Chains A and B, each alone.
Chain A
Amino acid sequence: MNGTLAVARREISEKAFVLIAACVLALVPFLVTIIPGVRQFDSHQVIATTAAFLSVGFAWGLAIILGATVVGRDLTERRLSFYFARPISSAAIWFGKMGASLVLVFASFTILFGPAIAVAIRAWRRSWDIDLLLFLGLVVGVSIVLLLVAHALSTMVRSRSPFVLIDFAMLIVVVLGTAAILLPLIFAFARELATFVASSVGVAFLVAMIGAGWYQVAEGRVERRQSHRAMSLALWSSMGVVLALAGLYVAWVLSAKPADFVSLHEFDQPAKGPWIVVGGQAKHRLDFRPTFLINTDDGSSQRIGGTYRLGMDAFFSGDGKTVGWVTPASLTGQRFELVLQRLTPGAKPMETGIPVRPFSELAITDDGSRVASFGETTTIWDVSQRKLLGSFRPPRERVRRWLSYFPDANHLRLIAVLADEERRLSEASRDHTIRIFEYDIARRAFTVRGETHIMARNVGINANADGSLLILRAYDATPEQPFVRVINGDTGARVVDIAEPRSGPGGVYRILSNGVLAVSQQGDHDSVVRFYTLDGTLRHELPLPGVRRMSLIGEIAPGKLLVDAYRGADLTRRDQVKFWSAMVIDSTTGNVVTRTRSGLWPISGDWYSGFSRDPRRHLLAAPPLFVDENRALVSWDPRTGARKIILPPGTARSGG
């Protein structure tokens, strides 16, 4: 320590003129205010701004100069022997010199910035967005980086050794290695994790540079080339170890298995087939949210790209034989493309090259052969040929929501709910237009097929299994009671309006495949499911005492509706699995035909708004999935009562 202080003190006294220069320059921010033309501005603001630029420029410039000379020049001019000829350790020489340089840099900065900011602190806060402490931290951090980098570069250049080519090659290797480690995380939208890894590598690089400097002085001593070699050896081998560790860590992160989930946030299950898509947070992996394609028959899984952060979950085609997801298509993460994978043995993910905008919609034909990518311009693509089949500009204004699907491979149907804020019936109620658009791929024509109007606060929409009928539910249709309207899915012509007998916090509604309308109404203490015929006749009413929330999951057979009901007192704690139970209701009789014991929380309906963005899928060929009381993801087949664990206990918690 004595040696370090002696070296530092000597270095500071040798370069004390820098502090004198800083003292002189500290007057500049104040003198600037008297320059004609500058006087018109707020003087405090001028002082703060001038001092900020001057002090930062001076500090960083000084850091570069000192870094480039503090050891390198002594080596070149053969004056490092002055220290080595005395009882001073190599560490004391290195840390003394570096410490002195940092003291000079920070002292100069303080001399330049301190008086100005003391006078103009209020102006600083007014005109600079950056917090003062953050600003100071930035100055300190960047100064240290510049000092060390300048030292390393100076050592390399001054040695005049061909070894500098190896340095250059190693620098490229480190940069590429770091990019290779970070890119999978960036592409997986694990920004927090990528930042953590990048920061760790950055800090490790700084530590490696400090360590390499010490090793350079300790091993190279007064010999220039040996000094360079020692520094490079220490720096690059340390970075090799750091990158290897970072690479292993990232590999471990990426190796997450479905069993590592601690919460789920993404889910899709096609009506047919054994495959599901599950995404969530895995153990100890910060914000890395892996998404898996899981075969519920054999338990096999495959990690796929997950872009849920862009509001774009993975999805299945109607036949359950194709799965799609979105992946970044550029290093900057600004462009995205669609990836499709056939769910056949040995099939690989296929990057389609089809551009996708974040937070936009996608629609896929039932056979997975064509895809529509929505945006300001919606494009329709043939997947196998990667060919653009057509494009159109969908309506953007006043759109509150829309549904989209391919009724067949040649037509894209778009049902938009448009709200007119100007036309209001009351404060809460405004005119909603439900307009049916269709794009004819063969004719490349975008037409309006029909529309209907509903005055309501909000309008929900759903479709029957073939899309021929749409069911609309008006929420808070003040002054009317909430009501359900069924319209023709092709023309928008009204089929029937059904007024609901009482108001409530909403419910769910389906057009079942036997033509029966199922409408649930949820109350504060109990709920009811009503079944109507298409002429509006109430056929059956099934009261569900104690049920405060319910989910119409789908049909397990035509007219057999699977419902999950919540009986808990606290509606904000619907993740309490024990209060959920499932039942199958026969819509033709209005009776419950199967009932489970409690403890099945539906993945679909409550946790997620629906299985798919395609509204037509209600008939469930595959056993639906639930979360059981042990937080395991299970499939339960109401037809047979078979229950199967898909993800082990503890994995299926609600995540965001």
Chain B
Amino acid sequence: MTNVIEVEALTVRYGKRTAVERASLAIPAGSVYALLGRNGAGKSSLVRCLLGQQKPSEGHVTLFGRDVWRDREELMQRVGIVSEEADAPPDMRVSSIAKFCARLYREWQQSAFDSRLERWEITPSARFGNLSKGQKKQVSLALALSMTPELIVLDDPTLGLDVVARKSLFEEVIGELAERGITVFLTTHDLAGIETLADRIAIMKNGRVVLEEELETLKSRFRRIRTTTAAEPEGVVTSRKWGSGAEAIVSNYDEAAAERFAAAEVAALSLEEIFIAVDGDGGVA
């Protein structure tokens, strides 16, 4: 499987502060890839570099095998983007934004845009600045989808969305995209939302990519183990006292471990729990 996105030893510095340090990622075509991390972990800087909007201090990023900094203009014909903050001019009407985009993209689908607006009950004549946060995201998404992208980059797309809109976004949109074979790269704090959709996960912490693998594999090797003895199992990510015994989260749970802890209470972890275990203070992958 070819990689749509390749990030190699990417470093981003702002003066003396390092926002991203030697980050490397490879996103296969057709996958749904989620980049997770707490605020300030370096996700936005990485995304900006990924979209050719910011020059890396070191390393480089390729999209579809081409250097994105150099070939941004051409590559953006193939990439739909929903940015973290709504960046369309607030005075611009939704229909004008679509018109503007229609002039720029070779494969613009006006009918798809119109039908999405209709489905989301957004008036085309409304000014972008007058829309709610969720509607702005929806307009951005409609724009990103109407240019027939091969890759769609969603930078925290659920920020500001209510529960219903969030669910709609993940299940209807991303699910649909994944089914159509469009590569999806997203950053999000909504771990529950992507748990059933993402193929691969990367977690950034303090500018470094501390974890990067298939979601299924990840979920299969993380377990919470509660024992009645104080003995700590191997591969512990975090541990704490639990009654007279101990509770530990391990990152290397396998068949051998299952036998070893047959007497113990072993439970699978949600993505959110894994993230907290990995990204919380003292957590390691």
Contact = CB atoms under 8 A, between A and B. Distances in A.
A221 B55 contact: yes
A78 B87 contact: yes
Contacts of A347: none
Nearest to A85: B81
Instruction: Specify the main secondary structure of chain B where it touches its partner.
Output: loop
B100 A87 contact: no
A344 interface: no
Interface string B62-74: 0000000000111
A288 B85 CA distance: 60
A82 B52 contact: no
B92 interface: yes
A88 B72 CA distance: 9
B53 interface: yes
Given A13-B96, A87-B77, A221-B55, A82 B87 contact: yes
A221 B76 CA distance: 15
A14 B92 contact: yes
Contact of A87 (B83, B85, B92, B104): B104
B68 to A, nearest CB: 11
Contacts of B100: 6, 9-10
Interface stretch (A38-46, A222-230, A534-542): A222-230
Contact of B89 (A9, A14, A78): A14
Contacts of A6: 100, 103-104
A78 B51 CA distance: 15
A89 interface: yes
B120 interface: no
Nearest to B69: A221
A377 B242 CA distance: 108
Nearest to A225: B14
A152 B146 CA distance: 37
B59 to A, nearest CB: 16
Nearest to A78: B85
A553 to B, nearest CB: 76
Interface in A58-92: 78-82, 84-90
A624 to B, nearest CB: 73
B91 interface: yes
Contact of B76 (A2, A80, A85): A85
A79 B73 contact: no
Contacts of A219: 55
A86 B101 contact: yes
Nearest to B106: A87
Contacts of A3: 73, 104
Nearest to B88: A82
Q: Which of A3, A80, A82, A225 has the most CB of B within 10 A?
A: A82
A84 B53 contact: yes
Nearest to B14: A225
A3 B53 CA distance: 17
A96 to B, nearest CB: 11
**Interface size class for chain B?**
20 to 34
Contacts of B14: 225
Given A2-B103, A219-B55, A222-B48, A84 B72 contact: yes
Contacts of B73: 3, 87-90
Nearest to A15: B91
A78 B86 CA distance: 9
Interface string B168-210: 0000000000000000000000000000000000000000000
Contact of B104 (A13, A14, A78, A86): A86
Given A88-B73, A89-B73, A223-B48, A82 B89 contact: yes
B114 to A, nearest CB: 19
Interface in B31-65: 48, 51-55
A219 B69 CA distance: 9
Interface string A212-226: 000000010111011
A74 to B, nearest CB: 9
Contact of A81 (B75, B77, B83, B105): B83
A219 B15 CA distance: 17
A222 B92 contact: no
Contact of A84 (B15, B52, B88, B105): B52
A477 B155 CA distance: 102
B104 A226 contact: no
A9 B89 CA distance: 13
A47 to B, nearest CB: 34
A417 B285 CA distance: 108
A288 B109 CA distance: 66
Contacts of B52: 84, 221
Given A10-B92, A79-B89, A81-B87, A87 B54 contact: no
Nearest to B85: A78
B53 A81 contact: yes
A521 to B, nearest CB: 87
A374 B85 CA distance: 77
Contacts of B85: 78
27 contacts: A2-B103, A6-B100, A6-B103, A10-B89, A10-B96, A10-B100, A14-B89, A14-B92, A79-B88, A79-B89, A81-B51, A81-B53, A82-B87, A82-B88, A84-B52, A85-B76, A85-B81, A85-B83, A87-B73, A87-B77, A87-B105, A88-B104, A219-B55, A221-B52, A221-B53, A223-B48, A223-B53
Given A10-B89, A86-B101, A86-B104, 16 more contacts: A6-B100, A6-B104, A13-B96, A78-B85, A79-B87, A81-B48, A81-B51, A81-B53, A82-B88, A82-B89, A84-B51, A84-B52, A86-B105, A87-B104, A89-B73, A223-B53
Interface of A: 2-3, 6, 9-10, 13-14, 78-82, 84-90, 219, 221-223, 225-226
Q: What 6 A-B pairs come out closest when comparing CB atoms?
A: A87-B76, A82-B87, A85-B81, A222-B53, A79-B87, A87-B77
